Structure 1
Amino acid sequence: MTDAAQPRPDETYSYLGPAGTFTEAALKQVHEAAGKHWRSVNNVGEALADVVDGRSTAAMIAIENSVDGGVSATQDALATVAGLRIIGEYLVPVNFVLVARPGTRLDEVRVVNAHPVAYAQSRGWLERELPDHAHLPATSNVQAAASLFENGLADAAVAPPGIVDHLDVEVLAESIGDNPNAMTRFVLVSRSRSIPARTGADKTSVIVELPDDEPGSLLAMLEQFSTRGVNMSLLQSRPIGDEMGRYRFVIDLDGHVEDERVYDSLLGLRRFSPKVIFLGSYARADRREVEYHSKYDDEIFIEARDWLRGILSGEPEED
């Protein structure tokens, strides 16, 4: 995973760095990435540009947090950067420590450097233990800690627990996150058009625009899934940006595109919407098998199509 001269793009993975971030922790879960070159980048746009321009075979990016919901920068990028597919998802528990330069005491902390998301997730602890502190925003969780040695503007930083493996910092407090069950969901994105085989524990991600802004449009979109027994594990709106009141919807479906109920719902969705972006079908990170009513089994959809095909071909109907 160390830098090498002229690394091959097909053996390079991009991630939001530097080393020690939660994104790196997610990339460590990818077996195919072990022993390959990992390219540290500064933001989601740069990570996806690496993939599109062929500098990397895939990029690991955060897409959803259990506390704050969808990551808007990622969702907007996936809606506007063509040719990308999600090929896997990974979950990383999120917790934080408060670190400082060696020799600093907790009662000496006046300014805390923290990424805005990390700050929001540890704000309760900070306000309780450091009621007079000021917040200095950082561009990443690791950069928050690194800045302690770069400019000295902050006395302490909110950072991932693994930061002690990369920087000479002293931990002033552990487990300062307000939600001990916080989790971030990451996705591995590539240009591959090959869809991972279905496992029975899958997700399908799409981005959809409504055909018009009139009463019932959103309901009509949702009915494409409800009438086929497809559950949505994520539904989030994002402004399209061309005018006020226009939104696209980021949707995660329980199931694989090869599942008949999902396949049929996507057909209905494409007939309904002027723009559907298929982001991919991939195995769930938790490997939890998708549950659905037996009336939506594959065989039910196949039998219905065979029945109608028989009518159109003039086959005699069975009693």
Structure 2
Amino acid sequence: MSETRNVSYSFLGPAGTFTEAALAQVPEARGKAWRAVNNVGEALADVVSGRSVAAMIAIENSVDGGVSATQDALASVPNLRIIGEYLVPVNFVLVARPGTTLADVRVVNAHPVAYAQCRSWLEATLPHHGHIPASSNVTAASSLLDGDQADAAIAPPGIDKRYNLAVLATGIGDNPNAVTRFVLVSRRAAVPARTGADKTSVIVELPEDRPGSLLDMLEQFATRGVNLSLIQSRPIGDAMGRYRFVIDADGHIQDERVADALLGLRRFSPKVLFLGSYPRADKRPIEFTSHYDDDVFIGARAWLKDLIGDDPSGT
């Protein structure tokens, strides 16, 4: 069997999940083997072991923010790189075993992220319901047919075409414009070439817990004209008050302003994890003022070199 035919991609399964829909957007994955896994840790383990060349994982949604399980996993697994991002519009239906009515529902099975995105509808429609977490939305639905204790499940539209389930309600998401952002993660490799519409992701630990330390970190970007599209804190876990920050910056590591910001960040904190620079899913060009152009940074270095001269000792 050829190496090409052995290439596989991992995604949160089973078939029919939003993660699979994100993977379907990857041209390189078409015609290759797709491996359904149960959680983010298993997906990343596939990549580290070489079982899969890349894994598609959810990292952020427009309703509930960053996916903490993904952020924590990326912080703890070394030598991984984000090589692309993909957006999937998200909507949900409530399904149950045939014969079940909405009035019968006491317990709902749902992936925690999906549950959060439907919380207002659930509290208004089923104010006394309980929640059983599931590893995926499809698993939540299919488990109803396996004797699950839940009466209903939150699932993606069309699930009733895959399983013998009745749809009790449609459009139950609290935000009809909800979108989930997915990233394709691979082993550490060359950074994709910059396109002018890029994003750079890093995880940074504050070096010490003192007044102004967070501001010092943010100023590394602000003083270089780099906009942040995401900044989220996650506990490190070794002591109270210790946090790491997951950051998405507009631009590419090969952009002078971003590279200079990362250098400043590295001087500020000894623990900076570079997750990658990759094309934005929306392909929107990054906007910034002209005094942060590459030529300005290059010219400033040339000016400094001229001041110092070829012989720094002055002899």
- TM above 0.5: yes
What displacement does 1:314 show? 5.5
Paired residue for 1:204, among 193, 196, 200? 200
Q: Does 1:299 align with 2:299?
A: no
Match of 1:250 in 2: 246
Paired residue for 1:89, among 85, 91, 97? 85
Take 1:55 and 1:6, find their aligned partners in 2: how far apart are those partners? 15
For structure 1, which runs of at least 5 residues remain unmatched after alignment?
none
Q: TM-score, normalised by structure 1?
A: 0.92
Q: Deviations over 1:79-102 (max 9, x none)?
A: 111000000001111110011223
Could you say if the C-alpha distance between residues 129 and 241 of structure 1 is closer, same or farther in structure 2, counting changes exceeding 3 Å?
Answer: closer
- Count of matched residue positions in the alignment of Structure 1 and Structure 2: 311
Take 1:55 and 1:264, find their aligned partners in 2: how far apart are those partners? 36
Q: Does 1:51 align with 2:47?
A: yes
Match of 1:174 in 2: 170
Letter in 2 for 1:197: A
For structure 2, which runs of at least 5 residues remain unmatched after alignment?
none
Match of 1:75 in 2: 71
Take 1:314 and 1:132, find their aligned partners in 2: how far apart are those partners? 76
Match of 1:147 in 2: 143
- The 5 A counterparts of 1:147-296 are 147-296=143-292
Q: Which stretch of structure 1 is more off in the superposition, 108-117 or 212-221? A: 108-117
Q: Which stretch of structure 1 is more off in the superposition, 128-137 or 209-218? A: 128-137
- Aligned-residue identity in percent: 73
Q: TM-score, normalised by structure 2?
A: 0.93
What displacement does 1:154 show? 2.4
What displacement does 1:164 show? 2.8
Take 1:87 and 1:226, find their aligned partners in 2: how far apart are those partners? 25
Q: Deviations over 1:97-122 (max 9, x none)?
A: 01122333333333322222222221
Match of 2:12 in 1: 16
What is the RMSD of the two structures over their aligned residues, measured on CA atoms?
Answer: 1.9
SS in 2 for 1:211: coil
What displacement does 1:129 show? 2.8
User: CA contact under 8 A between 2:5 and 2:32: conserved in structure 1?
Assistant: no
SS in 2 for 1:161: coil
Q: Does 1:35 align with 2:31?
A: yes
- The 5 A counterparts of 1:62-141 are 62-141=58-137
Q: Deviations over 1:27-77 (max 9, x none)?
A: 111111011101111111110000001100000011111111111111111
Take 2:28 and 2:261, find their aligned partners in 1: how far apart are those partners? 32
Letter in 2 for 1:247: Y
